[in-house]
Structure 1
Amino acid sequence: MLDRLDHALRSRPERPALLTATRTGAARVRATRGELAELSDAFAAALHARGLRAGDTVGVAVRPGPRALAVLLALWRLGLRGAVLDPGAGPDVLRARLALARPSLVLADAAAQAVAGWARPLARRAGLALPDLAELGPVATVGPRLPGCAPALDLAASRAGVPVHGDHDGDAVIVFTSGTTSRPRAVVHTRSSLAAGMATVASLFDAVPDQPVLGGTFFVLVPSLTCGAPVALPARDPRVLARQLHRLRPRDTYLTPPGLRDALDAGARFHGRVWTGSAPADAALLERVRGAGAARAWGVYALTELFPAAAVEAREKSAFEGPGDLVGTPLPGVLARTDAAGQLLLSGAAARQRYLGEEPDPWVRTGDRARLDGTGRIVLEGRCKDMVLRRAENIYPGLYEPALHVPGVELAVLVGVPAGDGDERLVAVVQPGRGANEHGLRSALSGPLHRMGTARPDALLFARIPLSGRSRKPDRAATSAMAAQRLGPTV
């Protein structure tokens, strides 16, 4: 599909490709299709001139936008492997990841380098521990160069003799996931698995030429632009995002669940289809999106190792009455089964080939407990590692958390809090929605809590749930620590 995208950008070079929003929500062209193709050519020539050849690894620390997309297109053209780096992950994590990936060159914009190096005095005053720029290895600046940045990538390099890698399969991208500083873990997608994932997304989105799509992820950008649809990057300010949605009226919108909640709280109205993933999305949130104008609202179950894996529409999710979290039927080409411990295993053409430094494995161990219902739909029962052990009973939060999302509840999790004797207390932490009354919520939750039987929580706590990571998933460790502090040594 990236080959098709390259051709598509050149066939209609004058048309808008990436849009941003003004403060009023009006669309502003960030880059045309021709400008993206031109920038990609310049990056490819510059990397080839530096002696990089197919199979080499290039670290990428560039904010999402035209440059990041053009860099990835250039890497694809040359057969280079891109390692996605987060300079804000902390010095120890970054060092370990660089040692594992061993990039020949790191491409970084000024913002990434500020985090990693020349803004170190400011970072110290903010209490942040960050690495020196030199620890990144050979670095070239992409975009505007500020004082203290590495030398700029030479975009005036000759384009003569720059090769096109062709259809040969090989590593395409490295994405770091869980792991420790002593043993970082990185997902390796090949050119074929990356292409298969994007083809699946294209079949879901079904983008239409010249009809805008709103979303900022790579898996939204590539299929949409390939089909000729301009992509609007979501405004960060929820109020601006609400105005952007009103004025743009996108046919398809992709936002994370926290992004949807922020937009809804800002009064956003939706149009067409809305898709959400990267973090849990309950039926109540999807129905709120439909109530705000969306024709259909979909929850997408996806992992870094396999994107996307399954999808479920709001009405189907709302109609589900069994225990656990229905995430839908596996998408075409995705195989699903569970192991002896109840862990969900996935496989398919879009699955990662391996973890860096490990042998290939066709089955992705998701870390999610799940079951397949009578029609083959995936029902999650919680994270394997999130199990709470209380009085010798294994309790899996994912089985019961969906029942806590009564009207007025924005987010809810079950966490274990150490009891001081090796046991754990089970605490329900509920984040009320805007304007919700805690007394009314407590009454509304009494039924669902009672139906949990032996898994009934020891305590119910109303609080804002900490989020973590780029996808802003609930941070269970931080929530558990907060609950322990709020509740004290006894319940």
Structure 2
Amino acid sequence: MADQKGDGDVLDELARVLRKAPERPAVLRAGRNGGVRTAVTRGELADLAERYARALHAWGVGVGGTVGVAVRPGPRALAVLLAVHRLGARGAVLDPGAGPDVLRARLVLARPDVVLADATAQAVAGWARPLARRAQLALPDLAELGPVATVGPRWPGCAAPLDDGARSGVLPRPVDGDGDAAIVFTSGTTSQPRAVVHTRASLAAGMRTVAGLVRPVADRPVLGGTFFVLVPSLASGAPVALPARSPRALARQLRRLAPQATYLTPPQLRRVLAEGAAFTGRVWTGSAPASADLLTRVRRAGADEAWGVYALTELFPAAAVEQAEKAAYEGPGDLVGAPLPGVRARTDAAGQLLLAGPGARDRYLGETAEEWVATGDRGSVDAGGRIVLEGRMKDMVLRDAENIYPGLYEPALHVAGVELALLVGVPAGDGDERLVAVVQPVAGADEGAVRAALAAPLARMGTARPDAVVLAEVPLGGRSRKPDRGAAARLAAERLGR
């Protein structure tokens, strides 16, 4: 369970910082040809958060309330977060692209008092149609779940603006003390979604940990788009640039901005490296596995340091490792680093990694609070106290009555010329499986040279040596664009004629 809230709530500190030097830039956006422009100043962001707080207060949102949030990351989403935090409510993060059935199940579970959505989210979800008189959800059978309000510019058919007629009125004092702060949906079936509940204390602890890792310096830009980048950086007085979507524009943005710190996902790093990007300062990556080779390529592209971050929805961040340490590791599995301050790690009887700490989720919605987070990762803690992952518990491949855990061997396949590598099981009949390595070469790499480089690590795999190696682009899935093992297994089966 999360520790009690103490001093140093980063969101509270951010609200104070924004009122200092209000003319200074807060959020930067990529302009044309990779240029940078100010999207919003500190004062404008503070004013927007206060306006949203007044509007939500007028809607009746207060302590213990729930606000559904379907707003793209950026200044408006951050202002919504600050407004919800000030009122002591909790924000339920909604993905409008999840599909109507999944979205319906999640809304039934969260029961928000109001759903805030920008025009793009409403269009994706099918909400941007003529809506009911009370601007209720247009998806079938959702009218009883509460109203929708538009944040930002409206398109035809969008719900009414959030702040219609709510620009005045007295706001209550900012809420202090602990309580639910965020609901983030994770795994679970359509009919039985699972939602992670973070408290104000656990969010604050996670953001303090990020601030301690990144150590942002005031008035020097940071590049990244997640809340865990935006909030600690802005609270330290550093403006944050939102990454350009195009890899080519992002490469130009990095060159012109020269950020003190950069956070990009591994797929973003791979794409921008292919465009010849040059890095400055410290570079961080997470949300998907980051190989030692990828971190090494980032260092070679100019970064002072390149870090892989191990994190879960339930605990962000949990561990981190720098390129030099990861590249020097020669043991089995994937070294993700020592637990960060306050994080505790152990394994259960099945070899599953368990984590706990002040930044851990309080509970899953509708379930009782628990101290330890079951990660779903098979792992261990080595003699130096570092976490080594050995693959997902459910990713085990059964071949010839032997249990093979891909995570133990995949890091060794990331040799020179390899972008990504997965070990997957392909049905072979009678419940047995063939073990196949799906290897994605770096763009332009010679396939013969890649196979030659793989020979040594394959020979060292012993009884876990794959039955076949397929050179192909590894499928990615989900919002964080992680390697999709199911799709990779289907691809392997097709290539092998199974």
The normalised TM-score by structure 2 is 0.95
The aligned residue for residue 267 of structure 1 is 276
Matching of residue 236 in structure 1 with residue 265 in structure 2: no
The aligned residue for residue 340 of structure 1 is 349
The aligned residue for residue 67 of structure 1 is 76
- Whether the 8 Å contact between 2:128 and 2:158 is mirrored in structure 1 is no
Matching of residue 252 in structure 1 with residue 264 in structure 2: no
1:251 and 1:394 map into 2 onto residues whose CA distance is 45
Following superposition, the deviation at residue 23 of structure 1 comes to: 2.5
Change (3 A) 1:464 1:204: same
1:175 and 1:270 map into 2 onto residues whose CA distance is 32
2:111 and 2:401 map into 1 onto residues whose CA distance is 45
Matching of residue 139 in structure 1 with residue 153 in structure 2: no
1:131 and 1:418 map into 2 onto residues whose CA distance is 39
2:232 and 2:375 map into 1 onto residues whose CA distance is 25
Matching of residue 403 in structure 1 with residue 401 in structure 2: no
Change (3 A) 1:120 1:318: farther
Matching of residue 363 in structure 1 with residue 393 in structure 2: no
> Which consecutive unaligned segments of at least 5 residues does structure 1 have?
122-129
Equivalent residues in 2 for 1:117-136 (5 A)?
117-118=126-127, 131-132=139-140
Change (3 A) 1:349 1:428: same
Q: CA RMSD in A?
A: 1.4
Following superposition, the deviation at residue 119 of structure 1 comes to: 6.1
Give 3-state SS (helix, strand or coil) of 1:11's partner: coil
Matching of residue 152 in structure 1 with residue 161 in structure 2: yes
1:29 and 1:133 map into 2 onto residues whose CA distance is 42
Change (3 A) 1:158 1:118: closer
Higher relative contact order (CA 8 A, sep 6+): 2
Q: Deviations over 1:366-401 (max 9, x none)?
A: 001111111100010000010111111110000000
The aligned residue for residue 111 of structure 1 is 120
Matching of residue 184 in structure 1 with residue 193 in structure 2: yes
Give 3-state SS (helix, strand or coil) of 2:163's partner: coil
Aligned length: 481
The normalised TM-score by structure 1 is 0.96
- Whether the 8 Å contact between 1:42 and 1:155 is mirrored in structure 2 is no
Q: Equivalent of 2:441, from 432, 436, 452?
A: 432
- Whether the 8 Å contact between 1:299 and 1:311 is mirrored in structure 2 is yes
Q: Equivalent of 2:319, from 305, 310, 320?
A: 310
The aligned residue for residue 127 of structure 1 is none
The aligned residue for residue 322 of structure 1 is 331
Q: Deviations over 1:205-263 (max 9, x none)?
A: 11111000000000000000001000000000000000000000000000000000011
- Whether the 8 Å contact between 1:43 and 1:155 is mirrored in structure 2 is no
Aligned AA (1:44): A
Matching of residue 19 in structure 1 with residue 44 in structure 2: no
Deviant stretches of 4+, over 4 Å:
118-121, 130-136
Following superposition, the deviation at residue 470 of structure 1 comes to: 1.2
1:159 and 1:320 map into 2 onto residues whose CA distance is 59
Give 3-state SS (helix, strand or coil) of 2:34's partner: coil
The aligned residue for residue 372 of structure 1 is 381
Q: Deviations over 1:244-294 (max 9, x none)?
A: 000000000000000000110011000010000000000000000000000
1:453 and 1:333 map into 2 onto residues whose CA distance is 38
The aligned residue for residue 3 of structure 2 is none
Following superposition, the deviation at residue 133 of structure 1 comes to: 9.6
The aligned residue for residue 93 of structure 2 is 84
Q: Deviations over 1:131-155 (max 9, x none)?
A: 4595564100111111111111125
> Which consecutive unaligned segments of at least 5 residues does structure 2 have?
1-9, 131-137
1:303 and 1:156 map into 2 onto residues whose CA distance is 40
2:32 and 2:407 map into 1 onto residues whose CA distance is 39
2:106 and 2:423 map into 1 onto residues whose CA distance is 32
